Amino acid sequence: MFGNMADMMGLMGKMKDLQSRMKDAQDQLSSIVDSAESGGGMVRATVNGQKTLIGLEIDKDLVNPDDKEMLQDLIVAAVNKAFEKIEPKIKEHLQKATDGVLPNIPGLDLGGLMK
């Protein structure tokens, strides 16, 4: 009977530790940064691990009021590529933050906790 109680107390301790580690990991995500380009490098988007666009560079030769749609498309493409590139870094960071607290469960994705 007391063995089950000790197991529950141990589990509660692990959950508290997990919450603390996840908060620390979330706070550190702003320091994870990646960039992507489109249009042969004419548009460059930089994002962080909190899934925030933190930089956007546009080559001056690309700015043409008569071709606004192309510029918009290149910006969207660069931003989307940057978010795709940062996703594995976010997952790796969260896995490291919870290493040893949670058992290694195949398919367990903690990235959804960041949304």
The reported pLDDT for the residue numbered 107 is: 59
The reported pLDDT for the residue numbered 102 is: 58
Instruction: Write the single-letter amino acid at 45.
Output: A
The reported pLDDT for the residue numbered 98 is: 75
CA distance 30 to 54: 10
State the CB neighbour count (10 A cutoff) for residue 6. 9
User: Which residues have a Cβ under 8 Å from the Cβ of 24 and sit 6 or more positions away?
Assistant: 97
pTM over 0.75: no
State the CB neighbour count (10 A cutoff) for residue 109. 10
| Nearest one of 48, 99, 70, 44 to 108, comparing CA atoms | 99
Please check the confidence at residue 11 and state whether its pLDDT lies above 80. Answer: no
Share above pLDDT 90 across residues of the chain, in percent, rounded to a whole number: 48
